């Protein structure tokens, strides 16, 4: 499908933080990425990090609880959670925990064959890392 005819052409998630450099390092160095763009003034900072294809998942409470049960064993996530596919789950977990991630639940194999792990970024946002099975 031609991208000009699609009603939405790009998904961006904007995270606001009190510690810009810490969170930028977490998502760039922690995932092995470089910022695609930096927006800096004398008093403000912003960055664009290309994370590949974007999709939006919308769950009802029951489905969110089921995903949490599979990944963590109990209902833990809030209304927003990032899910990032990575090529090497163990390496990504090591880099991110070294940069302040709190491990919520270690790797599990999902019923659909992926390996998933749940963590919190340094600001407390839950992130699922998954490696396709």
For residue 21, the tally of other CB atoms under 10 A from its CB is 10
Domain span holding position 79: 3-131
pLDDT digits 0-9 by tens, 17-57: 999 999 999 999 999 999 999 999 999 999 999 999 999 99
CA distances from 64 to 4, 34, 68, 94, 128 (A): 33, 31, 6, 26, 12
Domain CATH for 10: 3.10.180.10
Task: Tell me the two tokens of residue 81.
Answer: 């959670």
Contact 103, 95 (CB under 8 A): no
User: Can you list the alpha helix ranges (DSSP code H) found in 2-88?
Assistant: 20-28, 61-71
Number of structural domains (the chain) is 1
Task: Tell me the two tokens of residue 30.
Answer: 């922690």
The mean pLDDT value of the chain amounts to 95
The pLDDT value given to residue 1: 52
């Amino acid at each position: 499908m031609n991208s000009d005819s699609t009603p939405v052409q790009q998904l961006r998630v904007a995270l606001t933080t009190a510690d810009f450099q810490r969170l930028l390092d977490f998502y760039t160095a922690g995932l092995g990425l470089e910022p695609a763009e930096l927006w800096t003034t004398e008093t403000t900072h912003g960055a664009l990090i290309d994370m590949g294809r974007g999709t939006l998942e919308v769950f009802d409470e029951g489905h969110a609880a089921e995903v949490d049960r599979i990944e963590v064993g109990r209902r833990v996530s809030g209304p927003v959670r990032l899910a990032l596919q990575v090529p090497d789950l163990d390496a990504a977990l090591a880099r991110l925990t070294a940069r302040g991630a709190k491990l919520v639940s270690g790797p599990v194999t999902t019923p659909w064959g992926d390996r998933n792990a749940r963590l919190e970024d340094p600001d407390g946002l839950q992130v699922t890392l998954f490696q396709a099975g």
